Structures are given as structure tokens and as C-alpha cells.
Amino acid sequence: MSYVIIGNSVAAVGAIEAIRRIDKETPITVVSDEPYPVYSRPLISELLAGQVKEDMMGYRAPDFYGRNGVEAKLGARVVSIDSAKKTIKTGDGEEIAYSKLLIATGGTPFVPPMKGLELGRVMTFIKMDDAKRIEAMLPELKHVVVIGAGLIGLKAAESLHHRGVKVTVVELANRVMATVLDVEAGKVVQDALADAGVNIITEDTVDEILGDNMGLVNGVKMKSGEALDCDAVIVAIGVVPNAAFAKESGVTVNRGIITDDHMRTNLPDVYAAGDVTEGLDYLSGDNRVMPIWPNAYIQGKVAGFNMAGEERVFSGGLAVNSIELFGVPVVTAGLSNVESDELEVLKKSEGKTYRKIVLKDNKVVGAVLVGNIDRAGLVTGLIREQIDVGEMRERLLADDFGYIDFPVEIRKERLGVAQ
């Protein structure tokens, strides 16, 4: 009997910790193409900004593997799964046998085809090595173009700005963070970036990356025809599930790996968890890719319990994003930027703050909080628990909204008192 986990991020940690709650003895092997012990990926922007050191990046203590009886094969890339033989194969030809297998390979950057991608100093930004590579180039960088104004692109831009590099962010949509922010919220964030000195170009994209006679980036040409001089390009358009090798091995993949509510794939004794999967969104009831850190841990935990023989069900995840850019905190949750006749939207805008609550049938199904996120926990709780807010809907956007506004029966349940 042996457990094998492909991938070494938060979903793997969830699985290891769940397995060891049930099974203390059976060997666990983790195989990862990165050479580092498990670290917190959201911190790579702080690493690049110089705000944390590499030894502060750990997601678990240095003795995590030893304490949990895990053999970590780091710096080894898995290229195939043989479900008949119940083995995986690495790029150097090693075969590793498994009784239960978890695929937790996360996401990989989406890089659309464009001229110039082969040039030096064209980079992505999702792993520690990306941050370290960019940091090594800092003395040579005066101007960097970031393609994409989502969470990854904006954090890369902020980090470079902190290191004294001029940054231009290019976004095809008409605003930053367009997948989760509406126009009003996007403007608040974009104004904060502009005030800090970050150049934002919207409704345009890079058509070609230009290079010098040394094969290094020296500019970009926009679809509009405008040209910009720059020393490097970071492609941060998005992340897609890292599932190509699994699909080639017979695992059913749509946009991400398809699993059931026990995190099982179509192959016997093969599970999947985290950003590589299409997880259940319990608000919509649909399966979709949700690259959210807490969801990945929960899915890994569910998979681990089931791999160890204790039945657990993944009841669905909630898309929640939390980010701070140049001192402006932003939280989005649920259906934060969806238009539908079935939805009712409450908004409040005051200077550099913006709040939006999205309702369906008197239940909160989405929210955007920009500038003031003091009530984010309460609001996301309302979404998760689908509490009827009919009696307190007029108070949802108030600065002092709190448990006092909840119906008496809910206050009794939560706090044990009705005052």
C-alpha cells in the first residue's frame, strides 16, 4: 500500500494532513517539478517586492515531511500515469508505484500565441522561480510591460513598482480585474494604481513583442499600432489547469480534471484536487475552474480522507478573492460581476470606497468591497450560509452593519443571546 501525490502545494498539504489523521503508517510520496518544500504561492509578489525573504515563504514547518512520513521527490516532473500498472513515470524515466494517486498539479500560465515569445526576458509570474528570475534582472530593468490586469498581473506590477521599476499594464478589457469587478469598482482600483505611478492601458493588447539584435526584449507593438519601449514583458493573462499529462494518460479533462464529489477521477484509485480540477461552485451548482487557495486545501483534504478510506464529500466551493494594491484592500465573493434579471444589486460609493451586495431571492450571492472591507467576513458568511436577509437588507451596506442587524433567532443561534 502506498499513497502518491503529484504536486506540492496547498492541495497536497490538505491531502497529507487528512491521510495522516486516518492512516499513520502507509508511506506517502510527493513528486513535484519544483525544487522547494511547500511554500505559500500568494507570497511570491512580496518576495519580488523585497518584503519577505525566501526562508519566510514556507507554508508548513521545515519538518512537515519528516513528521508526516512523507518522501518528497522535489525537482522531478511527472510525464505519464499508467493506470493499469498503477505507476507514474517521471521525466528522467523513474517509475513510482501507487495504491492511491492524487493529481494536485495546480495551474499553469496561459500564454496566447504572439510574435516574440521566444525572446529573452519574456516571463510569467506564478511560481517562486519566476519571482527569483525577475529579481535577478532588476538591475537591468527600467521599464516592464505586464500583459493582463488580473490579480497576478497587478501584484506583479505593484512588486516591480516597489523595486523602482517603471511599469505599464496592458489590459484588453475596459478596466482592471474585469472578471470580478464592475466598472465602478474597477475605477477605484485603477485610480489607486495611477496615483501610485503605474501606467494602465485598457481596451488594447500586445500584438507583438519586439527584440534587439541580442535576442532580448526591447519593446512591444500594440494591436492599436502604438509601440512602447521596454526591457521585459510579463505575461499574466491567466492560469489554466496543468492537466495535459493527465489527459494523455486517460484522465477525463474538460477545462480541468473532472471529479465526483469524493474528488475521484474516472480512473480507479486516481483522485484530483485543487486548481487542476473543475470544482463544484455551490452557488451556481456548476463545475468550473476555481483557482482559489482555500478551496484547493479543502479539496485536497476531502481527497485525502477518501484515499485513506474515510468517506468525505466536497459540497462545493465559493470564489473569494482578497487582495491589497497600493494600500487599497479589495474583497470579491460569489457572483460579484454577473448581470441577470434574477439578481438585485445594492451599491454604495463614497470617494475611494465602494461596496456592492448582490441578492437573489433575498439571499446574498455576491459582493464587492473596495477600500473598506471591515464587514467582509460577515458578508461572505451570509453567502456561504444562504441566510434570508429580507429583514436586514436596508442595513447591508451600512458601515456599522453587524450581528445586531440579524434576526433574533439567528442571533440566538450564533451568539447565544437575543439582545
Q: What is the pLDDT of residue 285?
A: 78
Give the CATH superfamily of 327-415: FAD/NAD-linked reductase, C-terminal dimerisation domain (3.30.390.30)
Chain segment 263-311, per-residue pLDDT in tens:
999 999 999 999 999 988 888 778 888 888 899 999 999 999 999 999 9
Which residue's entry shows cell 487582495?
323
Sorting pLDDT into bands at 50, 70 and 90, what band is 40? very high
Residue 6 has pLDDT above 80, yes or no: yes
Report the pLDDT averaged over residues 156-178: 97
pLDDT, mean of residues 15-22: 98
Residues 194, 195, 198: CA angle, nearest 5 degrees: 40
Q: 325 or 404, which is more confident?
A: 325
- For the chain, the average pLDDT equals 93
Is the pLDDT score of 410 beyond 80? no
What pLDDT, on the 0 to 100 scale, is given for residue 368? 96
What residue ranges do the domains of the chain occupy? 3-108+240-307, 122-237, 327-415
3-108+240-307 and 122-237: same fold? Answer: yes
Q: Name the CATH architecture for the domain at 3-108+240-307.
A: 3-Layer(bba) Sandwich (3.50)
How many angstroms separate the CA atoms of 165 and 163, rounded? Answer: 6
* pLDDT surpasses 50 at 386: yes
Q: Residue 418 — very low, low, confident or very high, per pLDDT cuts 50/70/90?
A: very low
The angle subtended at Cα 178 by Cα 172 and Cα 182, nearest 5°, is 135
Average pLDDT over residues 334-361: 91
Contact 40, 138 (CB under 8 A): no
| Whole-number Å distance between alpha carbons of 333 and 379 | 9
Looking at residue 4, its pLDDT comes to: 98
Report d(CA 317, CA 295) in Å as an integer: 6
Q: How confident is the model at residue 419 (pLDDT cuts 50, 70, 90)?
A: very low
The CATH code of the domain at 122-237 is: 3.50.50.60
Residues 6+ away with beta carbon under 8 Å from 146: 153, 156, 157, 160, 167, 168, 169, 170, 233, 234, 236
